[in-house]
Amino acid sequence: MIAPDAPSAAAERVRQLADALADDACRLAEAAENGLWSAEAVADAVDAIDILLDALARTSPKAPRLLAPATDATTALLLDLGIETMREQARQLRQAAGGQPTRRRREVGLGPRYQGIRLPPR
């Protein structure tokens, strides 16, 4: 959801993080101008895009439909570069070796400034 005009502390934090993300994305684009991406770097960047698409899909009722082409594009890119195939082969090898299948999970935390829940004295 888009925050109302009067920004809350949480909305301000989201704005700050989005601003930092935009700066980091610019630095990544500049560093990758020569096109020397490793498969791992591409996979990490696509994971970040997919996480952001998931978060942005919650901004309005129409957002999931509007963002669907971008999600399809990230999947297509991984398939085109053979990265998704490599991931699937690695999963199969781990399973054949008796290992548990691993799946990269989105990390969700309380943030570096979390200080616990304060309850009023009884």
pLDDT per 10-residue tile (average), the chain, 122 residues? 68 91 93 86 90 92 93 89 76 69 50 59 64
What pLDDT does residue 79 have?
A: 86
Q: Is residue 116 part of a domain?
A: no
Residue 21 belongs to a domain: no
How far apart are the C-alpha atoms of 14 and 4, rounded to whole Å?
13
What pLDDT, on a 0 to 100 scale, did the predictor assign at position 69? 93
pLDDT for 96? 76
The verdict on residue 87 lying in a domain is yes
Is residue 46 situated within a structural domain? yes
59-95 burial: b if 16+ Cβ within 10 Å, else e: eeeeeeeebeeeeeebeeebeeeebbeebeeeeeeee
The range of the structural domain enclosing residue 65 comes to 38-96
Instruction: Please report whether residue 25 resides in a domain.
Output: no
92 assigned to some structural domain:
yes
pLDDT at 67 (0 to 100): 94
Determine the pLDDT at residue 122: 60
Q: Please count the structural domains in the chain.
A: 1
Whether 119 maps to a domain, the answer reads: no
